[in-house]
Structure 1
């Protein structure tokens, strides 16, 4: 329920990951009085362990494909607004699969994207190698798909740039400020965020952007917003991203090479990720070394036998209980945003949420994702 006041709206945004920073910066840009609160440092949570792929090409996201396409277009606008920054690369995605079932799934998804105006270019293996000469493409690969306009972002510099923009519009950041309690006036006249320090941030509206911690933050307020935990059968919640040492081959695109995701990283390094490997992780799995991903790399990128893993990080993804994004009013003064694929969706969510809060709009793009769908039904 959008709120229209005669004065500047005071909004407390909790969570300074890539989604929360986009929401806060856009609200400030549109004239709101914004305080952004985070328990640690901006981008230090789930965002810091992300592969940071900007895409709609992954076949597993058909249920909110339109929102992902809006996110890609948002990043394309930001590329122009920030003067083609070095921290944002939109050189596209090259994808292929060898197993017949995986190849069929990828083809079906390519056809789906074509219907949504995001048609991939279908290349032969030789044509793909002409674009990315460092790749190894197996002889039995018949089609390589190129998805224009996708890419990757260095989340740290991106968040810094967005915060600089937000601060120029008056945004205030409260980092290292863990939230103890949310409180809402019984008659819906206001809200407050009490910090562990004892400080209180008064607001007209609170926006929760805390990702996988959404349920634990909001449950005391009586809000249901379930998030999957590691080991949940519905989805793979834990993920590993590994960074290689500098390698001589150069790659310009994101590569989805028969189950292994590869993208450039600073200093001639590569970033690696595999959903297939993630599916093998359990709570009892030793801390990952990334060696399994490195073994896959050698078969997909030339001259990488001497590469080593410099760092590997396991993170817990923010995945709502029914796998769909959450965006909308949970209480009169509480708006909730939580989603998987936050890097891709962040620019779109920033703009759509700001419109709902400040422009008295209920955006159709978010209609399917309201938190009210989780409310318990009386027996």
Structure 2
């Protein structure tokens, strides 16, 4: 039976729905990774290197999946990761994601490069969210964005450090996502012809298609090419840990450094004043042929886990993956592609349903492993294969 005739449940189910509904250049921008996409695949596949231990005859009558994530009371150790241009995957997509996260009791992270501004997102829920930022060459813009975030009620900043310049995402070259020449324009136009529902729901009803958080700093806020030119000019390859120390000095809330893959960098983040780190290779979208995030997590958690909160993203596709990450030392996980697949495929309700499945998977796994709380999930309950 076709997947489109049954209820979507897993991330793969929603991925297939998203692929059917989205123009190819948008789907591949979300789905793809750098170069040969070896790290993209490893992020997912390496979770299978770890097996759960099933234990029986233990009282599991009081299972509790709740935790605190950067001071946020979360129903489970999951947060929605920042995804650039989420509002191009569904109408005002960031607001849909934020409402779904709020309904399921987990944090939502607004991307610097989101279609919806931080103000629009917080207005949609009336609740605090997390805000993600890159180091831009124009430090005045950074300070302005931080003031806006703070005024909107943001108390947690995710600062991404693994993007001094963008990785080589070859699918985007093939599909015309990158490039403004005639061939690229014709390619995208042809792909749009096969996505009439997207054109109506997002292309027309989802306007304005501005990068909401940057609309005040580009000459023409209605021209996405203007945003690209601005962003390309703002990649800062000179950034060092001294810049993070400066950021710490001007940001009063919690600071989590996203994009750490080595112990020495995690320690440097702590030394610069970070409250947490995210073990992440940017979902395999930056440097191909680096290790998966899950294989780097244990050493980083052991090195700095008693000094700061440790999170992980890249490759999480189920509640079982979440359990493995927590057992290996993560305070929580961030999911990016999964929630966008669900939103593109089935809207806000799809995100809610997927998150409910994650929580049920976490709860069931904990019961069958013989534990009642996340604190009981330890490396001893995993087997490396």
Q: If the length of structure 1 is used for normalisation, what is the TM-score?
A: 0.27
Larger helix percent: 2
- State the structure with bigger RCO (CA 8 A, min sep 6), 1 or 2: 2
Q: If the length of structure 2 is used for normalisation, what is the TM-score?
A: 0.27
Q: Which has the larger radius of gyration?
A: 1
Larger strand percent: 1
